[in-house]
Amino acid sequence: RAWRREMCGAWGVTLRAAKGVALCAMMLAVAGCSSSGASDYQEYWTAIRQSFGGTFSASRVTLKQAAAIPYASMGYRVDHGPELIIVLATDNAGEQLWTSADHIVLLTRGGQIVRSVGLPHDLGGMNFQNGANDTLPAAALRHDFTATRYADFPDMGIYSAPIVCAASSKGRRNVTILGQSITTVRVAEDCRSEKLDWSFTDIYWVDENSGMVWRSVQHIHPKGGEIDTEILRPPG
């Protein structure tokens, strides 16, 4: 249970005021931070581990593996490593909390990772200069935009580091997920932080009708690499 205490503590440092308390409470429930340590997710992940012989280690998640999980799920990989499965735990006011058997937790907003726990280098939090909806990847389907975000990196002792990103639509692209071809619009965000001397480009493949991000390549930490995501079973 040590990872649970560390996870909850790490989020407690970055979450602020009532919103932070509420979100940490959700994470306590999802991750099984109770004294009994029991949860439906824990039992389900135990069954999945037994069925597939431990952590998913194939280069990509298969259709059989994805179909075995009756929850909204997402595949993710770090630095071109093996693809792992992460399950949607809560969906609250546009913020989606994902958790995995490998003690990874991601918080996304409109497909964009805004916090993480359990990765080699975690994003402590991200806030936006403008309204969140005006800076989500789907906003680029309407028009190009430039926006400033402020990111926390607790392991570096850096908070509210400004990152300026210019987002633009690159036209329709088909992506293939679990053998199914999906029509999307490719959105690119070219980002730069002078404070961190860090430049990167994030790519999102966005559903033109719903605005959902089907696939992405994101950079969330100056010391980290790429995080690839793809929706295996969409919410709803």
pLDDT digits (tens, 9 = 90+) for 26-46: 444 444 443 334 455 555 554
Nearest to 141 by CA among 130, 131, 133: 133
Model pTM score: 0.79
Contact (Cβ atoms closer than 8 angstroms) between residue 220 and residue 116: yes
* 55 φ/ψ angles, rounded to the nearest 5 degrees: -60, 140
Query: How much is the pLDDT for 85?
Result: 93
Contact (Cβ atoms closer than 8 angstroms) between residue 84 and residue 102: yes
Determine the residue type at 71: Y
Distance CA 83, CA 225 (A): 15
Contact (Cβ atoms closer than 8 angstroms) between residue 116 and residue 105: yes
* 5 φ/ψ angles, rounded to the nearest 5 degrees: -65, -40
For the chain, 236 residues long, give each residue's pLDDT as a single digit of tens. Answer: 444 444 444 444 434 433 444 454 444 444 444 333 445 555 555 444 433 433 444 578 898 988 889 999 999 999 988 999 999 999 998 899 999 888 899 999 999 999 999 999 999 999 987 666 678 999 999 999 999 999 999 999 999 999 999 999 999 999 999 999 999 999 999 999 999 999 999 999 999 999 999 999 999 999 988 999 999 999 98
Query: How much is the pLDDT for 48?
Result: 46
Helix (H, G, I), strand (E, B) or coil at 110: coil
Query: How much is the pLDDT for 133?
Result: 67
Query: How much is the pLDDT for 101?
Result: 84
